[in-house]
Amino acid sequence: MSDAHGDRLVSDDRLVADDRLAASAASAGLPGAGPPILVSACLAGLATTHTGVAKPDRKVMELVRQGRAILVCPEQLGGLPTPRLAAEIVDGASGASVLDGEGRVLDTSGGDVTSNYLRGAREALKAARLAGSKVAILKARSPSCGKDRIHDGTFSGVLRDGSGVTAELLRREGLQILTEEELEGRDL
Ligand code: SF4
C-alpha cells in the first residue's frame, strides 16, 4: 500500500543523501555539485566537425559518462549538414561583430552561412539556459566554439584574436568559457 509519498520517484532518504553529497562537493570547491556543463559535441566523441569526424577529449567524455554534460554542436543546430564546407569569420571580424550584425561567416565556396551560425548560437544558448549551465567547454579555434583565438578568415591556417559566434554569445550571457586545452590540471 502506498502512503502519501507513494508516488515519489526518489525517496526522501535518497534526496537527503544527494543533498549531502552536493553540499560536500560544493564545500570542497568542486563544480560537480552544479548544473550540467555545456560541451561541444565533437569533444564528447560525436562526429560533428565539418569533415565529419570527432575530436574526443578524455575529460569531456568523462563528464558525459558521469551524466554531468549536455552536448551541442552549434553548426548542426544552425541547420548545416555534416560533413560541410569549412567556414571562417571573414574580413577581420569576430564572433562579437557577427553578433552585432557587422561580421560575416563564409564557407570555402563563398557561401554566406552567417545566419546558420547565429541560429546555432541561439540554440546553444537555449540549451544552456534550459539546463542552467554556468560553464561551457568549447572546442578551441572553431568559428562557432573557439574562445579568444580563431582562424583569420583567409582559410590559410593563420590565427588571430577573437572568439567564435557561439562562444561569444554564451560569454555575453555570463557563462564561463573554457577550451579543451584549458582543462589540464583542473578539477571538473
Ligand atoms: Fe565541434 Fe563546435 Fe564545430 Fe560543432 S560547431 S563540430 S561542436 S567545434
pLDDT in tens, 118-135: 999 999 999 999 999 999
Residue 60 has which C-alpha cell?
A: 569531456
Determine the pLDDT at residue 188: 80
Specify the pLDDT at position 45.
98
- Ligand 1: nearest atom to the Cα of 146: 8
Q: What was the pLDDT predicted at 153?
A: 98
Pocket test for ligand 1, best of 60, 82, 139 (most atoms within 8 A of CB): 139
In this predicted structure, what is the pLDDT of residue 9?
A: 42
Say if ligand 1 is within 6 A of residue 142 CB: yes
- Cα–Cα distance, 137 to 118 (Å, whole number): 19
* Span 84-103, average pLDDT: 98
For every residue of 159-177, DSSP letters joined together read EEE---HHHHHHHHTT-EE
Q: Tell how far the Cα of 41 is from the centroid of ligand 1, in angstroms.
A: 6
Element (H, E) at 133: none
Q: 143 is written with which cell numbers?
A: 568559428
What's the grid cell of residue 116? 546558420
Return the ligand 1 atom nearest residue 42 CA. 1
Check if 75 has its Cβ closer than 6 Å to any atom of ligand 1.
yes
Rounded CA Rg of the chain? 19
Model confidence at 27: pLDDT above 50: no
CA distance 145 to 137: 9
125 CA from centroid of ligand 1 (Å): 14
Please write the tens of the pLDDT for every residue from 145-182.
999 999 999 999 999 999 999 999 999 999 999 999 99
The rounded mean pLDDT for the chain is 88
- Ligand 1 centre and the CA of 32: distance in Å? 24
- Output the pLDDT for position 100: 98
Residues with Cβ within 8 Å of 129's Cβ and at least 6 positions away in sequence, in order, are: 173
